[in-house]
Amino acid sequence: MSDWNELSDEAFRKEVRRFFETNYPQELRFLSRRLRWSECKPWYLTLSKQGWIAPAWPKEYGGMALSPAKQIIMVEETERCGIGRMPDQGITQVGPTIMRYGTQAQKQKYLQPIIDGEHVWCQGYSEPNSGSDLASLQTTAVREGDSWVINGSKIWTSMSMDASHMYILVRTDRNAPKKQEGISFMLLDMKTPGITIRPIRNIAGHEEFSQVFFDNVRTPAGALVGELNKGWTIAKALLGFERLGIGSPRRPRYAFTRLEKVARSRGLMDDPAFADRFVQLRLDLADLASLYGRYVEQVRRGETLGPDVSILKIWSMELNQRVSELLLEAAEEKSMYEGALDFDGEEVDVLAPFYMSRPGTIYGGSNEIQRNIVSKDVLRLPAK
């Protein structure tokens, strides 16, 4: 099939479902952690071989050029089948950025290896002293002859141990009148000398993120994407779609399935006080799906998402925490134990959803930052 758009939505959904069900490994379904590249590379390559790895990309770069409606179908089927999140930054972030802002040479150098799974990308945004105030970042790139020389440090870099490349925001003008105006967007090979990775163990004990140090890292002049000092604009353009992804009902729905299992196993549904709180969360989740559907519909129509999409992230991630807290309560003494426990023949790790839910209100712009954005750009509340 050269053009999947020719199929009806229903026929396409059926085909996607069949392919996912047949080919995605059982043992990697509905995992409560992120997949390492070594685990999910076979699936990445399977999708790549099928021609499905980049649904949104144009065909000339190896994508499916899929209609927005059918892209949504793929996302829905991915969630339905419990397919874990792969290192997808190359497909969702770097590729589209290079297509829009990159040079011909950059397109030739970087796009095909993403499709082929040869390059795995990570994001270099946050720094130890630039978290919520991202635009204050201090990692510098200084031009020396044909190279950029990078010094500084990035932190909370997810899956950097698996990444071959990093897209990075660096300060290229210290004297710009506004802090947002001296930032550039660059591409970096992680094998370049001078890069050190220090994995950081998270609260759940997993090494999913790290701090990355840059000590006179020399990268060719061709590393710059778009105009010099205009990197903030590129980064901002990437954030809206990220918030739609984070705001999907997927995470709280997963936690809710765990809650339901534990609650039924412990007979809590017969307790009216518990049942009322349970149904409240169930409604919160169903209502999130309605709100999410609205934004998906906007994307389906080809519209750009506005700053109001932040409310989806706020609601989804806080709901995820409410669900995981009720799960701890429902498990009572059993919430003291690390690892999976037996509930009526099914293994449930009651702490995993709790741990997983905590960073959700911090990453992708903390929920406090999201509220600042909505307050300023949607509700038009004054600065002073």
Binding site for other proteins (CB under 8 A): 249, 275-276, 278-280, 282-283, 285-291, 293-294, 308, 311, 314-315, 368, 370-372, 374-375, 378-384
Please give the structure tokens belonging to residue 82: 């419990």
Strand partners, 141: 150
Alpha-carbon separation of residue 146 from 123, 149, 347 (angstroms): 24, 10, 57
Nearer to other proteins, 134 or 288 (CB): 288
Nearer to other proteins, 118 or 297 (CB): 297
Instruction: Tell me how far, at minimum, the Cβ of 178 lies from other proteins, in Å.
Output: 20
The answer to whether 157 and 209 are in contact (CB under 8 A) is: yes
Instruction: Tell me how far, at minimum, the Cβ of 9 lies from other proteins, in Å.
Output: 14
Nearer to other proteins, 117 or 364 (CB): 364
Strand partners, 167: 123, 187
Instruction: Tell me how far, at minimum, the Cβ of 299 lies from other proteins, in Å.
Output: 15
Nearer to other proteins, 2 or 290 (CB): 290
Instruction: Tell me how far, at minimum, the Cβ of 72 lies from other proteins, in Å.
Output: 16
Nearer to other proteins, 242 or 308 (CB): 308
Residue among 221, 219, 115 at smallest CA distance from 166: 219
Collect contacts of 340-349 with beta carbons under 8 A, ≥24 apart: 343/261, 343/262, 343/265, 343/266, 344/261, 344/264, 344/265, 346/261, 346/265, 348/258, 348/261, 348/262, 349/32, 349/258
Residue with tokens 């040479």: 105
DSSP 51-116: T-S-TTS-GGGT-----HHHHHHHHHHHHHTTPPPP--HIIIIIHHHHHHH--HHHHHHHHHHHHT
Active-site residue, from 15, 39, 242, 325: 242
Instruction: Tell me how far, at minimum, the Cβ of 278 lies from other proteins, in Å.
Output: 8
Instruction: Tell me how far, at minimum, the Cβ of 175 lies from other proteins, in Å.
Output: 30
Please give the structure tokens belonging to residue 150: 């990078």
Angle at 10 between CA 4 and CA 15, to 5 degrees: 55
Strand partners, 343: 346
DSSP 122-148: EEE--BTTBSSSGGG---EEEEETTEE
Please give the structure tokens belonging to residue 270: 């017969």
Instruction: Tell me how far, at minimum, the Cβ of 369 lies from other proteins, in Å.
Output: 11
Strands 209-220 and 224-225, by their bridges, are: unpaired
Chain centroid to Cα 347, Å, comes to 27
Q: Is 242 a catalytic residue?
A: yes
Nearer to other proteins, 141 or 285 (CB): 285
Residue among 291, 282, 290, 284 at smallest CA distance from 259: 282
Q: Which residues contact 213 (CB under 8 A, 6 or more apart)?
A: 153, 195, 196, 197, 198
Nearer to other proteins, 70 or 119 (CB): 70
Nearer to other proteins, 165 or 258 (CB): 258
Instruction: Tell me how far, at minimum, the Cβ of 84 lies from other proteins, in Å.
Output: 22
Instruction: Point out the residues that are catalytic.
Output: 242
